[in-house]
Amino acid sequence: MTGTDTEWEARYRAVQGRDRRFDGMFYTAVRTTGIYCRPSCPAITPRRHNVTFFPTAAGAQDAGFRACRRCLPDATPGSPRWDVVADAAGRAMRLVADGVVEREGVEGLASRLGYSVRQLHRVVTGEYGAGPLALARSRRAQTARVLIETTDLRFADVAFAAGFTSVRQFNDTVREVYAASPTQLRAAASGHRPSLVPGTLHTRVAVREPFAAADLHWFLAVHAVPGLEAVGEDWYERSLRLPHGPGVVRVDLSGRTPGVVPCTLTLADTRDLAPATERARRLLDADADPLAVDAALAEDELLAPLVGARPGLRVPGQLDGAEVAVQTVLGQQVSLASARTAAARLVERWGDPLGLEGPHEVTRLFPSPETLAALDPEDPEVLRMPRARARALTTLAGALADGTVVLDRSVDRAETRAAMTGLRGIGPWTADYVAMRALGDPDVYLPTDIGVRNAATALGIDDVTRRSDDWRPWRSYALLRLWSVVLDQLREREQRRDTTRRHP
C-alpha cells in the first residue's frame, strides 16, 4: 500500500467513525450526490468508490460539489497546518481569509508573497486543490451564509459585507454552493438574531474542542489595556483598526456553546466583516488542534500534569502586529502591571478616539506606527519611560511605518525576525514573542524568559532549553503551560488581596 493509499484509508476510517478531530483537516465529496461534507457528518457513510477527498472546502466547490446543509462543512475551523508549516501556500490562506483578494485582487496577494500570479496559483492549487480566486469565493459564500442565517440584514447588505461585487454574483454563488437561494437559507434557519444597532453584527467562530475558554479569558484579562480593551465576567472586548475604518469585537468566553464562540462585531463599514472575523479567529487561536497539541506535550512527564489540568489551552493571538510589537517593547524588563500602565498612557494620549456608536465599552484605538514614529524619544514628557526604551520604541515604529518591518501572516518568519533584531533595542526575546503572538508561530521558545525559568524550577526541570526540543513543533503551547504556573501564583495573590479587602 502506498503512502497515498494509507492516507486515503486513514481518512475513510475517520469518516466511518464520524471523527470530529478531522473536521477542517479535509473534506469528503460524494460523487453520486454531488455533495461534500465534514468527516463527522451524521449522514450514512458513502461507499468507498463514490468518495473523493479534498484538502479545502474551496477545492470541493471548485470541482462542482455543493455543501451539505446538514453538517455545514464550510463552518469548520481551518487547518493548524497553515501555521505549523507557514509556507507560501499557508500564508496565502491566511491573507485570503483576511479579505486581501477582495481588496487588492490576486495580483495584490501575489505581490505580498513575492510571487507572480501564475506561480502563486500553481503553489496554492497544488497544496489546497483550488486557486486563490476559488478560495476567496468559498470564504465569501461562508461569510454570506452566516449573515443570512444569523442576522436580518437585507440581502444586498449581506452581499457587500461578504465581499461580493454585486447582488447577482451573491445570489448565483449562494445557489451554486448551497443548492438553495438566500431566501431559502434564511427561512430554514432558526433562532437568528437581528442587529439592534446599525453596524453591529452577531456571528460565531468555530473552534475545536476542548477549548479552555476560562483560561483564555484570564490571560486576556490580566493583559487588558484600559480604553483599548474591556473585560467582563465571561467576555472580552477590544477595538480594531480595520481596512475601511474602526471596529469593535466582543467574544463570549462563557463556554456555553461547545465548539462555537459567539462574537459581536461593531463596524464602521460592513465590508470589514471578513477581516474583523479573521482577527477574532486569531485572538481565539481557532484553528488549533488541541488534541494533537495536548497529546504531544503530555508525553513529557513533567508537563503532563499541566496539560491534564488545562486541556485545550490556546495561544492568544494578537489582532494587530504593530500593536503587539510596541506593547512588547513597553514590557521589556518591567512587571506586567507596569507594562499595562505604560500602554494605557500611550493609548490615552496618542490613540485615536474610536468614534463608533454601539453597545461597547472601549473608547480608543491603539496609536498608529506613524504617530509613534513622529514622537521625540528624548523628551520624558512625551514618552515616560527610560530613554533607551523610548528610542527602541520610536525606531521600531518607524520601521513599521515605512515597511522595513511587516508584521502580518504573509511574511516569512525568519526574515522578519532578522529585520526586527537588526533594529537597535530589539532583541531575540522581543522578536520571538512577537512571532508567537502576531505571526501565529506555534513553535516559539523563549530561553531567557524569567517566567519560563521560574516555572521550570518549580517543576524540577533542570535543563529546560534542552528539554524544549522534545516539545517541537508546539513549543508556544508549552510556554503557555509554563506561564500558567506563574499566572496561577498571580491569581492566588489577587484572590488573597480581595479576601483581605473584604475582611480586613
Residues 6+ apart with CB under 8 A from 155: 148, 167, 170, 171, 182, 183
Rounded Cα distance, 479 and 481, in Å: 5
Mean pLDDT is lowest, of 102-116, 138-152, 178-192, 240-254, for 178-192
How high is the pLDDT of residue 409? 81
Kindly list the catalytic residues: 37, 449
Average pLDDT, the chain: 91
Rounded Cα distance, 349 and 379, in Å: 15
**Does residue 296 register a pLDDT over 90?**
yes
How high is the pLDDT of residue 192? 52
Residues 6+ apart with CB under 8 A from 297: 303, 304, 307, 471, 474, 477, 478, 481
Judge whether 230 and 237 are in contact, CB under 8 Å. Answer: yes
How high is the pLDDT of residue 190? 67
Rounded Cα distance, 314 and 294, in Å: 11
Residue that the C-alpha cell 525559568 belongs to: 453
**Does residue 2 register a pLDDT over 50?**
no
Task: Give the torsion sign (CA, 121, 123, 129, 132).
Answer: negative
- 17 or 496: which leads in pLDDT: 17
pLDDT over 90 for what percent of the chain?
72
Q: Tell me: domain 3-73, CATH 3.40.720.10, correct? A: no
Query: pLDDT tens across 443-470, in order?
Result: 999 988 988 998 988 888 888 989 999 9
How high is the pLDDT of residue 499? 66
Rounded Cα distance, 375 and 372, in Å: 5
Residue that the C-alpha cell 514590557 belongs to: 331
Architecture of domain 81-150+153-188: Orthogonal Bundle (1.10)
pTM given for the model: 0.86
Residues 6+ apart with CB under 8 A from 364: 227, 228, 239, 347, 348, 351, 352, 353, 354
How high is the pLDDT of residue 244? 94
Query: pLDDT tens across 302-350, in order?
Result: 999 999 999 999 999 988 999 999 999 999 888 889 999 999 999 999 9
C-alpha cell at 215: 483560561
How high is the pLDDT of residue 479? 95
Query: pLDDT tens across 154-171, in order?
Result: 999 999 999 999 999 999
Judge whether 203 and 286 are in contact, CB under 8 Å. Answer: no
- 394 or 113: which leads in pLDDT: 394
**Does residue 495 register a pLDDT over 80?**
no
> Which DSSP letter does residue 180 get?
S
Domain spans, the chain: 3-73, 81-150+153-188, 200-487
Rounded Cα distance, 223 and 219, in Å: 6
- 274 or 495: which leads in pLDDT: 274
**Does residue 8 register a pLDDT over 80?**
yes
- Over range 248-277, report the average pLDDT: 94
How high is the pLDDT of residue 94? 87
**Does residue 1 register a pLDDT over 50?**
no
Judge whether 252 and 234 are in contact, CB under 8 Å. Answer: yes
CATH code given to domain 200-487: 1.10.340.30
C-alpha cell at 437: 503572538
Judge whether 409 and 95 are in contact, CB under 8 Å. Answer: yes
Query: pLDDT tens across 91-133, in order?
Result: 898 899 889 999 999 999 999 999 999 999 999 999 889 999 9
Judge whether 142 and 206 are in contact, CB under 8 Å. Answer: no
Domains 3-73 and 81-150+153-188 share a fold: no
- Residue 503: band (very low, low, confident or very high) from pLDDT cuts 50, 70, 90: low
Residue that the C-alpha cell 537588526 belongs to: 422
Query: pLDDT tens across 18-75, in order?
Result: 988 888 889 999 999 999 999 999 999 999 999 999 999 999 999 999 999 889 898 8
- 144 or 87: which leads in pLDDT: 144
Query: pLDDT tens across 370-393, in order?
Result: 999 999 999 998 999 999 999 999
Residues 6+ apart with CB under 8 A from 82: 90, 91, 93, 94, 287
- Residue 185: band (very low, low, confident or very high) from pLDDT cuts 50, 70, 90: very high
How high is the pLDDT of residue 134? 95
